[in-house]
Structure 1
Amino acid sequence: MSDYRRVYIPGGCYFFTVVTYRRQAIFADERNVARLRQAFKAVKAKRPFELTAAVVLPDHLHCIWQLPEGDANYSARWQMIKTDFSRSMTTEVKADAAKTVWQPRFFEHCIRDEADFQRHLDYIHYNPVKHGLTDSPANWPHSSFRRFVAGGEYPLHWGNAGVASADFDRE
């Protein structure tokens, strides 16, 4: 077993990847995307954080969070989100009494600087195109991309299929 240690920085900015159990496409159902949004809303009301960017794909999601000053406990928030969402699902239960909704862990990366933030933001928004789910980030319904276009941070055509990620033009 590896000696993996999570990095907890109060007020930190983090990129996350969370995957469904055995890559089930539970978010292909719009009702489950709505349930996930509700779980985020409920947890943010109890344990505030800023959801800076996000994309939800059929079997996983990516997001960037900014934690409040003095608070580094993103693990508790993910546990609460996963639990809240899982309670709304009718699904198989494993021998350890856990529902078969989520993989038990998640990936986290502490954002180090503005360039690191931009790389992860681009990764999030290009992900539906990368997985062949759409031909343009602007066409994926479960993404923060259009909010960033409205804010002038991306042109509408950014990331259209056929454009290599290294060739993205931000102008």
Structure 2
Amino acid sequence: MGRSRYKIFEPTHPHFVTCTVLHWIPIFTRTETTDIIFECLKYLQKADNAKIYAYIILENHLHLIISSDNLSKTMESFKKYTARHIIDLLKSKNVTTILDQLMFYKKAHKTDRIYQLWQEGIAPKLIQSEAMMIERINYIHNNPVKRGYVDEPIHWRYSSARNYADQIVSTDREGNKKEFTLLTASASILLVDVSSKKRDKQSINQALSSGKKAAKQESSHIYLSKWQ
């Protein structure tokens, strides 16, 4: 795979992105390697205001729907941090079979390193509508099902499918408990143009409130809108 031709032109908006291990080597068959991914994402949620709408980690690649204050910078930090720490882990465990492959398949222009973990690029796709958001979330969650790895999306350990399907227990004033899934909750997603002059907190909260009302009428319970 050559250098990526894909560019991010709206760096604060949600994108569907893909990170693939060099030569599709199965790195994420170890819990320790997936732990590094989650550790990095948690850090970026605080450092870069990253928001993870959906994710899945398969044996040799991962998909995210993600936004941040500057997505290009966030994904660059993500790939650098995870590559360094996963390679250090493989060295500490003396996993020479994989390390030899990461060295053998390293691109010739990567002269500043011995190993290369990630293929270049993230193939970002801007989430432009509610329908696209839903389609990409479903694609992510159904990925291991289509591959025949599991029967249901929630059975895959490293996926946000469980977050969407987890049961919430609510207790009313009389002490009666009621269970419902997160899929029955409504959510408003507001994409704010950085050049907009109407970015005061009150206006944005009003737009989000209107969006939540609209979300209740949607079959997906998600309402995606743009703030110009």
AA in 2 matched with 1:152:
L
Distance 1:25 1:56 in 2: 11
- Number of the residue aligned with 2:72: 75
What SS does the aligned partner of 1:55 have?
Answer: strand
RMSD: 2.5
AA in 1 matched with 2:10:
I
Write the mapping of 1:124-163 to structure 2, written as runs, cut at 5 A.
Answer: 124-150=140-166, 151-153=181-183
Runs of 5+ unmatched residues, structure 1: 155-169
- Number of the residue aligned with 2:29: 28
What are the Cα deviations for residues 104-149 of structure 1, in whole angstroms up to 9, with x where unaligned?
1111100011101000000000011122221211110000001101
Distance 1:4 1:83 in 2: 19
- Number of the residue aligned with 2:125: 109
Question: What fraction of aligned residue pairs are identical, expressed as a percent?
Answer: 25
What SS does the aligned partner of 1:52 have?
Answer: strand
AA in 2 matched with 1:153:
L
- Number of the residue aligned with 2:112: 97
Count the aligned residue pairs: 152
Higher alpha-carbon Rg: 2
What SS does the aligned partner of 1:54 have?
Answer: strand
Structure 1 residues 78 and 5: alpha-carbon distance in aligned structure 2, compared to 1, 3 A threshold: closer
Q: TM-score scaled to structure 1, two decimals?
A: 0.78
Structure 1 residues 64 and 3: alpha-carbon distance in aligned structure 2, compared to 1, 3 A threshold: closer
- Number of the residue aligned with 1:85: 82
Structure 1 residues 7 and 140: alpha-carbon distance in aligned structure 2, compared to 1, 3 A threshold: same
AA in 1 matched with 2:76:
Q
Higher strand share: 2
Runs of 5+ unmatched residues, structure 2: 92-98, 167-180, 185-219, 221-228
Indicate yes or no: 2:10 matched with 1:9: yes
Distance 1:19 1:5 in 2: 15
- Number of the residue aligned with 2:45: 44
Indicate yes or no: 2:96 matched with 1:66: no
Distance 1:6 1:129 in 2: 30
AA in 1 matched with 2:61:
H
Q: TM-score scaled to structure 2, two decimals?
A: 0.60
CA contact (8 A) 2:12 2:71 kept: no
Distance 1:59 1:102 in 2: 10
Distance 1:5 1:26 in 2: 24
AA in 1 matched with 2:72:
S
What are the Cα deviations for residues 12-65 of structure 1, in whole angstroms up to 9, with x where unaligned?
111111111110110111110001111222233321210111000001111111
Which range moved further: 88-97 or 129-138? 88-97
Distance 1:32 1:2 in 2: 25
- Number of the residue aligned with 1:164: none
